[in-house]
Amino acid sequence: LDPAAEPVHAITFTSTTFRPGEQP
């Protein structure tokens, strides 16, 4: 295993807003 050949991995954080009474 060659660490230099490791691809870049993304951990994604996705936000949404919601109004009162809506399910988040």
For residue 7, the surrounding DSSP H or E stretch is none
Q: Write down the least CB distance from residue 21 to other proteins, Å.
A: 8
Q: Write down the least CB distance from residue 23 to other proteins, Å.
A: 9
CA-angle at 14, arms to 10 and 7, nearest 5°:
5
Q: Write down the least CB distance from residue 13 to other proteins, Å.
A: 5
CA dihedral 15→16→22→24, nearest 10 degrees, is: -20
Can you give the binding site for other proteins, defined by CB under 8 A?
A: 1-22, 24
